[in-house]
């Protein structure tokens, strides 16, 4: 039996996945939400006074973001035990500059470009080789319209960028058409309260990944920072057809804020149960009504023939049945979680089709191409378009295969789950899970107990 509890750098590479020999009944608490942690770190750094962030995600992306914020002048200290962090904010303006490298983190890098516009000294924002390939021009152009001075250091439209101190970033009104990523919109929203003129965003097209913009609104409200949206002004937040978002210039102070478990990470465990007959996973701390976009996949399990129970306001249980039924659905609101479904679809009854996935082309890797390649390896018949994937598992085989992960944490976790039900899978570069879930393999080991 493989020891999945070994430190990440001691795991075999490739890492064989042992198929289950019996059903499991396991309780797991996923790590803190990556999306919420990133937003909370920025808001705490910009606030006046000290914030306490309870159970943030400790992973490559979030750690690099916190380090970058501290480089510019925020202060962070971890509570004994290292689960909670206290962040002393800068009251809207960072006293220092410097060079920050956000690694593979798309959200941290895009947030930091916006944050750097509030620094008193020049800031160079850089990332990994892959991050240098990912588009950032849309966000830079938006910030320039608001008065920021940003220069491309090497290649136009790509990292690294140099943000030059300027008192001319004023906020105001901006019109935004179709975007490749909602991260740019969230970045603007996070810094809007400290801009002299606040911010009014008018959307000329439907938002890309709009639930992540809703999530930004929800987290901002915890710091008593409020957004109004029109023509709809719903308690739930910004609707996908909202035409404008208005954020007034306003002061924020430190808050105590608890990070809920990551819905994207939880999905791997739910699908592990869904494709493993009579297996059951109990996930603690995550409401099925969470504002996290991937929580929207909860509604899929009943349709897949899987039993779903809402135990209480924060806990839920998923139990696998005899069959896992293929689905057709729009994944535009749940792009990260769809990888867990797509890999699991290799064990489904019927053909799966997921649409609305154009953002997956510009993630840590081209995830649609990666899914097509690796699912084809195991014999599935797969086709993709610019924004969809169709998976026919009827041609699958059980020959041994090594799954290439493309240094993408979600590819590693999704196909590890598949390996519970499909023999012969090994995962290349298993340590790439450190990006969002360093404890994934240790939790994975619990399924064999």
Q: Which of 104, 294, 336, 392 is catalytic?
A: 336
Secondary structure of the chain as H, E, C letters: CCCCCCCHHHCCCCEECCCCCCCCEEEECCCECHHHHHHHHHHHHHCECEEEEECCCCCHHHHHHHHHHHHCCCEEEECCCCCCEEEECCCCCECCCEEEECCCCHHHHHHHHHHHCCECCCEEEECCHHHHHCCCHHHHHHHHHCCCEEEECCCCCCCCEEEECCCCCCCEEEEECCCCCCHHHHHHHHHHHHCCCCEEEEECCCCCCHHHHHHHHHHHHHCCCCCEEECCCECCECCCCCCEEEECCCCCECCEEECCECHHHHHHHHHHHHCCCCCEEEECCCCCCCCCHHHHHHHHHHHCCCEEEECCCCCEEEECCCCCECCEEECCCCCCCHHHHHHHHHHCECCEEEECCHHHHHCCCCHHHHHHHHHHHCCCEEEECCCCEEEEHHHCCCCCEEECCCCCHHHHHHHHHHHHHCCCEEECCHHHHHHCCCCHHHHHHHHHC
Indicate if 336 belongs to the active site. Answer: yes
Instruction: Give the active site residues.
Output: 336
């Amino acid at each position: 039996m493989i020891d999945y509890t070994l430190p990440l750098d001691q795991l075999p590479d490739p890492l064989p996945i042992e198929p289950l020999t019996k059903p499991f009944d396991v309780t797991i608490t996923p790590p803190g939400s990556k999306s919420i942690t990133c937003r909370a770190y920025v808001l705490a750094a910009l606030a006046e006074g000290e914030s306490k962030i309870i159970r943030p995600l400790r992973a490559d992306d979030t750690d690099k973001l916190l380090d970058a914020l501290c480089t510019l002048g925020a202060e962070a200290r971890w509570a004994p035990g290292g689960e909670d962090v206290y962040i002393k904010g800068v009251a809207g303006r960072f006293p220092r500059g410097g060079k920050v490298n956000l690694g593979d983190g798309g959200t941290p890098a895009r947030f930091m470009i916006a944050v750097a516009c509030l620094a008193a000294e020049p800031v160079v924002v850089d990332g990994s080789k892959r991050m240098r390939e990912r588009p950032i021009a849309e966000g830079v152009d938006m910030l320039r319209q608001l008065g920021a001075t940003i220069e491309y250091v090497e290649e136009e439209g790509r990292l690294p960028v140099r943000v030059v101190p300027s008192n001319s970033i004023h906020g105001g009104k901006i019109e935004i058409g179709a975007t490749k990523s909602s991260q740019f919109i969230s970045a603007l929203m996070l810094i809007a309260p400290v801009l002299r003129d606040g911010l009014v965003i008018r959307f000329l097209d439907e938002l890309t990944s709009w639930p992540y913009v809703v999530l930004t609104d929800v987290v901002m409200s915890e710091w008593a920072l409020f957004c109004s949206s029109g023509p709809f002004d719903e308690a739930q937040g910004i609707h996908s057809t909202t035409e404008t978002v208005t954020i007034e210039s306003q002061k924020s102070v430190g808050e105590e804020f608890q990070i809920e478990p990551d819905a994207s990470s939880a999905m791997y465990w739910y699908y592990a149960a869904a494709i493993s007959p009579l297996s059951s996973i109990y996930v603690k701390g995550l409401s099925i009504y969470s504002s996290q976009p991937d929580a929207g996949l909860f509604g899929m399990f009943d349709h897949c023939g899987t039993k779903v129970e809402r135990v209480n306001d924060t806990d839920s249980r998923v139990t696998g049945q005899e069959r896992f039924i293929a689905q057709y659905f729009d994944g535009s609101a749940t792009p990260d979680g769809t990888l867990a479904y797509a890999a699991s679809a290799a064990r489904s009854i019927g053909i799966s089709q997921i649409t609305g996935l154009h953002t997956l082309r510009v993630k840590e890797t081209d995830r649609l191409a990666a899914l097509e390649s690796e699912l084809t390896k195991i014999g599935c018949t797969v086709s993709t378009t610019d924004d969809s994937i169709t998976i026919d598992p009827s041609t699958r085989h059980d020959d041994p295969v090594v799954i290439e992960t493309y240094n993408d944490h979600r590819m590693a976790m999704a196909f590890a789950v598949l390996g519970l039900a499909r023999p012969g899978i090994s995962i290349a570069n298993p340590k790439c899970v450190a990006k969002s879930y360093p404890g994934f393999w240790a939790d994975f080991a619990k399924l064999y107990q």
